[in-house]
Structure 1
Amino acid sequence: MVAEGDGALRRSGGPQPPDLLRLHEAIAGLFATQGDWRRAYQHLRSALEIARDGSLRDALTSSYNRRYLDERLYGPFTDRPPLGIALIDLDRFKSVNDTYGHLVGDRVLCRVADLLQEELPPEGFCARYGGEEFVLWLPGVDAAAAFGIVDAARRRVARHPWSELQPGLRMTISAGLAHETPGPETPLSPERQLRSADALLYAAKRAGRNKVAYRDAQTMQLITHSE
């Protein structure tokens, strides 16, 4: 489970270059041959942190990967409540690959990941869930703020100048947002929230895409864009 290192990993902006990993390992070996175990340990620890960072990042987008998300979903829960979890899907992404090719599709995924990672709360993060799906983890914000963050991300994607990447290209996202503020007898369950977000994502798709779906205390609200 990642705790104090979370912020440092996020600020790194993605996996460190493999050469830096090998450099720390080589320096550690040099200090070890000289009997300077303290400095050897410091460089081995740096190498370990770089290797761990890379193992928790998606190789294509440099966002967090499914392994990191699973650690947060199923490991010890340390975030303070409340918590919002949004499951996001790129609309009609298969047609992007079919029309423009997988290289363009990969560039779209990378750019969407960058747009999703803007304006997150201090302990929030974006993870690639698989394929063209991403998860936004939004701790410590109320339902209104969580919706504002997700809908702002939706608008950033919709308004992005995709035609600069490929003439005629347009991209939107749909999202399902599950938010919980637990009571003393109802602890947070991120796994349950992700399942709820999945169902809400399908509701947003059925409503026409380029939407955020969330459930308030009594009813489901589908929020549509107004551009």
Structure 2
Amino acid sequence: MTNRLDTHPSWRPSETGASTRSQPIDVDLVNGPRDTTELVDIHESIAQAFATQGRWQLAYSHLTEALRLARDSQHVTPLIPEQYQRQVDELKRAHAEAVDASLRDALTASYNRRYLDQKLDKLLAEQRRDGEGIAVALIDLDHFKQVNDTHGHVVGDRVLQQVVALLQADLPAGAFCARYGGEEFVLVLPEANPWFAVTTLERARVRVAEHNWSSIVPGLVVTISAGLTHRPGWELPQRDAEWQLRRADDLLYAAKRAGRNVVAYRRSGAIRIAGLDDNCR
């Protein structure tokens, strides 16, 4: 996307995109900068974000604008408030879009691993003792390598995109899907009791299994396996996101051993298979 401001001849268009900046910029993005120095700071922050991602042309464009503003700030007539605020608004939009893109997987538009780690740790730390708890499911596409080997990576990419759409189709408020890596995804369900979590995952599994995959390639079949873990609200927040994901991974392995295309979870300490050990199918 290109931002364009015609009201000021010194403005140069800038393209927005993904950013991997991990620290907030040193600027008041709510009320806007108070002087040209803070405009320079915003451009430098966006340039750093693009440079971290390796988008050197975009980084150079913003850095050049920052240098120009710094060089000319004492030799030009100050912008009138309206012109100044328009530049600020454009930069605020560019920054917001860059930050959002930095938290998204480029292929599936689901959240990425960075967002997952940050958000899940925050949810676990803020979990209420009187709340329902937090459910975390690690999901893997069954035999996905065969899809790529047989039909090619273009078809494989379309399958991944469709699976994400199906996983997100019935998520409750506050829940989210993130790409964990390759063909693995994570569903996080805050404020979910164990039964609700199991039934939600089982419905997602059925949606994937019953989807008309032949619309992509005739005869194509896609299924998923999932390992689901739940931390109740009364449990002390002594386990972090990594520990929860390891628990989910262990259960995913159990789902694979059970024949795939199932959801594995624990109840009363024992591993259960949704639909076989209960009545949620």
- Post-superposition Cα deviations, 1:59-111, rounded to whole Å, max 9, x if no partner, equal 10010111111212445734554100000000000000111111100100000
Q: Secondary structure at the match of 2:260?
A: coil
Over 3 Å counting, the alpha-carbon distance change for 1:188 and 1:123 in structure 2 is farther
CA distance in 1, matches of 2:266, 2:236: 21
In the alignment, what sits opposite 1:66? 113
Task: Identify if the C-alpha distance between structure 1 residues 171 and 185 changes in structure 2 by more than 3 Å, giving closer, same or farther.
Answer: closer
Which structure has the larger Rg?
2
Please give the residue correspondences for 1:1-227 in structure 2 after superposition, counting only pairs within 5 Å: 19=1, 22-23=2-3, 26-27=4-5, 30=8, 34-36=79-81, 37-75=84-122, 77-78=125-126, 80=128, 81=131, 82-183=133-234, 185-187=236-238, 189-224=240-275
Equivalenced residues, count: 205
1:29 to 1:49, Cα distance in 2 relative to 1, 3 A: farther
CA spacing shift, 1:30–1:148, aligned 2, 3 Å: farther
Matched to 2:5, the amino acid is: I
Give the alignment's Cα RMSD to 1 decimal: 2.4
- SS state of the match for residue 5, structure 2? helix
Greater relative contact order (Cα 8 A, min sep 6): structure 1 or 2? 1
- Secondary structure class of the residue paired with 1:27: coil
Per-residue Cα deviation, 1:157-176 (whole angstroms, up to 9, x for no partner): 00000011101100000000
Query: Is the 1:73–1:191 contact (alpha carbons within 8 Å) kept by the matching residues of 2?
Result: no
User: Compared with structure 1, are the counterparts of its residues 60 and 186 closer, same or farther at alpha carbon in structure 2 (3 Å cutoff)?
Assistant: closer
Query: Can you list the C-alpha shifts for 1:92-140, whole angstroms capped at 9, x where unaligned?
Result: 0000011111110010000001111111121110000000000001001
> Does the 8 A contact of 2:264 with 2:273 survive in 1?
yes
Structure 2 counterpart of 1:27, one-letter code:
L
Q: Using the alignment, how far apart are the partners of 1:56 and 1:29 within structure 2? A: 32
TM-score (normalizing by structure 2) = 0.67
> What stretches of structure 2 of length at least 5 have no aligned partner?
12-78
Structure 1 202/49 Cα, relative in aligned 2: closer, same or farther at 3 Å?
Answer: same
- Helix, strand or coil: the match of 2:115? helix
Q: Percent identity?
A: 50
SS at match of 2:274: strand
Query: What per-residue deviation string (whole Å, max 9, x for no partner) do you get for residues 174-224 of structure 1?
Result: 000000114264556333211100000000000000000000133111124
Alpha carbons 2:117, 2:241 under 8 Å: kept: no
* CA distance 1:28–1:145, shift in 2 (3 Å): farther
Match of 1:13 in 2: none
In 1, the alpha carbon distance for the partners of 2:9 and 2:116 equals 36
- TM, length-normalised to structure 1: 0.82
